[in-house]
Structure 1
């Protein structure tokens, strides 16, 4: 069998780590078998990881971090991809502290073996158009800035990254290339099979090599750190479908349950927009996955742990058919379609209904807390395993947290236990078709 190459991650102190060696593969190619036949339903299967760094001798920063988004392999039923976000970070002063500032967002390629194990086949590190590794550091003004100032492990302000990405949604095409959405611009970025940028699409004119292909200008009003959290590709591979995590700040800070979905025609660059109504304000739409060209699964969740009390981790089936396109006549309009001098976000559900704006249809498919007592806070990845089985993966935040908001990194522990929160795969039976 063909052997894949290993390169193990070095263990280094946070304040002296100058680079990160990256795992790029390992082990024989697994024999293809349906995961539903070898994995137990409603059972936790932690993803493999390496330790990036250890703080104070006992807090592990793990690599790890896979689960901000997930997608099925386009042709191999036992393989899937998962993506990290921008890397370990905590709130600090007027921005974020990045204890491993040179961390590169990456795609993990996984397989479920015939023995029921999960193997990491390779890591695909994301790169700019010149092939240089990017970071997860925020973009500067004019490139997708969120207003977050980046700091290193010692609390020193550091430079921005023009190509920095807070990656969240991921899809893979049959040609082996990837599309990734993020929370900065928000951007939708096309990467080749090796992780090199081919195209970047955003609402703010930073679209190298894309001509006038852009997202509607209104999406630049995304709330910082709550941008385009989920991304799907229709089965015919003609249309990207992105969902915003929360209400746009359009034009000011708004607490609402009115959120947006955008579709992007890959051939023409034509976009459409739709209203998605959350169960309550300030929830998170953290994944969207295509079932058909018009039907999708959406993860709608809160940020709570089930072990600390009531928590919502819902998966809804939605249908764009019959929903109103709210694009308006000018996609360059920074406020988007207006209703009686109000933006969509400023309007109530009743006002939208009076204006004949119909949100996407929505029905509950599975409540993961009720189904299996889902213990993790950040349910963010969905894998369509087969017609009756869904796979779910959580973002473990590289197994670190900042419980007190003081920039001090602590181990991320599941409430009510001593277990470290780990990115894990669960399979659940669900009638979603």
Structure 2
């Protein structure tokens, strides 16, 4: 074996998307004896260096990860992104009374910070309320043990290691909900025969469907009119809400309003009809609004069943962009989920998007995760997503035809052949490295451009054996500012 002595001295980020470290060629040390350090601390690259024509080259991923950087490869653009890792700055736990025996209080299905509020104050939601699944004669029934639960927006504060609930705003109508008999709505599904059938806590009695019921997931604030928008899994829909919780209107797919009457909440059919092909419980999971209040983005949790259930393992997820002045969509982009094949026991359909922040018109933060918790977790990342060079596919690839595939049917090669450029992704947080213990990171927020906050949805502790509430919010300091 040829022998060298190396001093690791430089990283060159090239426009071709490769990075190398090089050194002089001298005798005295074999490759397996080379020692590496970063700022005086020993590091171990994941792959060995190679000697090419008297110079030592270290693979970009091995070198960058050794230096504490995330590495992302974009095969569509032929580029490599290196990003400094954040620092964990705080952990906060919810300590609140149980809603009922065996049912914990829940927040954390979303998270948003309003500019001008104190840095430690956020708003959150807790989806449709406590629900479970019981097998009855081989059929799984969806149960709602607290039928009078009201989907609610919570104002929360983090301080002294705790999540404190400062205020709450139950979602309500300008009128009476036909199921609750009050102005407040329920978390029950909307349409019989389309949505999951709702049952009582023992799975014995089928409950009424609520045309105004919401399974609230994402939450975004519009500074231009001081209102919230909520993404709803049932519709899928995006719901406009006043600060006091009063529902104003609902954006739904074309054809949705013909199935149900909601006279108290105007249904704006501006979502493309293809969104009716959602997978149950994998609907509109996240929503974000640009700071200027001009544009709103909504992302589905998974691929649509377009044309059928076989698409549950498609990697293509849709992100749609609305002009808030008209409520009409103006663009739609392709987000490619990570490939499940390198991970252990992880099905492609179990990789999901869970929340979003709209930093500006071309930059989103996206939460992508697997279904595992604790030591089994493998994929829980926050990505900075760039839309500026992505292809606008609005109105295209919604149907499979003899001439072509639907978006969801396409493979990577099909996207390239069709000239479809997906959004680009750059890791800014890998929470697995920090050992975040819970499965459902469903709340994501950015404060002052450089503080990242994540929170999990505890699913109201259904089937949980934890002695605590099981909701935690963690904060991280980014070594740069995202604007």
Bin for the TM-score computed over the shorter chain: 0.7 to 0.9
Q: Structure 2: how far apart are the matches of 1:346 and 1:128?
A: 40
After superposition, residues 25-424 of structure 1 pair within 5 angstroms as: 41-54=88-101, 60-63=102-105, 65-78=106-119, 79-92=121-134, 93-113=139-159, 117-130=162-175, 132-141=183-192, 146-155=194-203, 156-174=205-223, 175-203=225-253, 204-206=255-257, 210=266, 213-253=269-309, 254=311, 255-271=313-329, 272-280=331-339, 281-282=348-349, 283-307=351-375, 309-328=376-395, 335-336=398-399, 340-370=403-433, 372-401=434-463, 411-413=464-466, 419-420=467-468, 422-424=470-472
Q: Structure 2: how far apart are the matches of 1:106 and 1:304?
A: 27
TM-score (norm 1): 0.79
Deviations 1:115-156, CA, capped at 9 Å, x for gaps: 665431111101134261111111124xxx643110001321
> Where in structure 1 are there 5+ consecutive unaligned residues?
1-39, 55-59, 402-410, 414-418
Deviation of residue 341 (structure 1)? Answer: 2.8
Question: Is the Cα contact below 8 Å between 1:44 and 1:425 reproduced in 2?
Answer: yes
Q: How many matched pairs?
A: 364
C-alpha spacing 1:412/1:182, structure 2 compared with 1 (3 Å): farther
Question: Is the Cα contact below 8 Å between 1:399 and 1:420 reproduced in 2?
Answer: no
Deviation of residue 196 (structure 1)? Answer: 1.1
Which residue does 1:36 correspond to in 2?
A: none
TM-score (norm 2): 0.71
Q: Which has the larger radius of gyration?
A: 2
Q: Structure 1: how far apart are the matches of 2:194 and 2:422?
A: 28
> Where in structure 2 are there 5+ consecutive unaligned residues?
1-86, 177-182, 340-347
Deviations 1:2-54, CA, capped at 9 Å, x for gaps: xxxxxxxxxxxxxxxxxxxxxxxxxxxxxxxxxxxxxx945431124221111
Q: Structure 2: how far apart are the matches of 1:266 and 1:389?
A: 27
C-alpha spacing 1:187/1:364, structure 2 compared with 1 (3 Å): same
C-alpha spacing 1:117/1:95, structure 2 compared with 1 (3 Å): closer
Q: Structure 2: how far apart are the matches of 1:339 and 1:190?
A: 39
Question: Is the Cα contact below 8 Å between 1:205 and 1:214 reproduced in 2?
Answer: no
> What secondary structure sits across from 1:72 in the alignment?
coil
Deviations 1:199-245, CA, capped at 9 Å, x for gaps: 11100443756575521111111110000111100111111101111
Q: Structure 1: how far apart are the matches of 2:166 and 2:402?
A: 50
Question: Is the Cα contact below 8 Å between 2:367 and 2:380 reproduced in 1?
Answer: yes
